[in-house]
Amino acid sequence: MFNNDLSQHAGFDVSVVAFDLDGTLADTLPDLHTATNLTLNDLGFGPVSADVVRQYIGQGIEYLLLELFKDLEIPIEAAELKSVAQQFRTHYEHHVCDRSALFPGIDGVLKAFQHRGLNMACLTNKSELFTAPILDKLGIRSYFQEVICGDTLEKRKPDPLPLHVLASRFGVGTKQILMVGDSKTDTACARNAGAPVVCVPFGYRSGMTLAELDCDAVLDRAEDLLDLVRKA
């Protein structure tokens, strides 16, 4: 489904690179794990491992909680889920960037693209409430001309709307935007919008293997982007 032989890949002539946040730019799992276990403790349940939480990252807090409760065989009603999600948000807001960190090589890639004059965007399903402080605390907000969060528009990834909006804002076609992500949510968004997409080797992927992701290439390391991306 993808061409993982980067030495044979012709590369991408694009005007914009759009990066996912969780699992692509930054390892946010430690703080999501903390918020999850604090929420479970509120409800009288014991903690879960980070690997359990890892499976459910990338599609919003409600999805994470709903799938987690299924996994733990904890029954929950829709109204209760809304209340529990708010508890989670409160905990996460207090710990949003305590231990989250950029993945290796990411800062250097962003600096290099900025030096080349390449436009960049952050395209995440995380809400603005959490995205803004993470980008600020990790010192990368200034790299992005546009930031689209999960609650910025009426639809989010994997719907193509976020990429179509980015294309409109930058005045380019979606084929001129390279999506860089780590999961099916990112690859499906790109495919739905007709945009090229590559995946990082780290990230969460909701239990999928790299080979299962429908992307144009899988990077061996973040720095591979520097050889693959050319400014159109």
- The set of catalytic residues is 20
Rounded CA-CA distance 109/115 in Å is: 10
In angstroms, what CA-CA distances link 98 with 27, 132, 134, 138, 165? 11, 14, 9, 11, 32
Handedness of CA 128, 129, 134, 139 (dihedral sign): positive
User: Which among 180, 170, 163, 169 has a CA at the least distance from the CA of 229?
Assistant: 180
Taking the C-alpha atoms of residue 155 and residue 10, their distance in angstroms, rounded to an integer, is 33
Q: DSSP class of residue 103?
A: P
Residue in 206, 35, 36 with CA at minimum distance from that of residue 125: 206
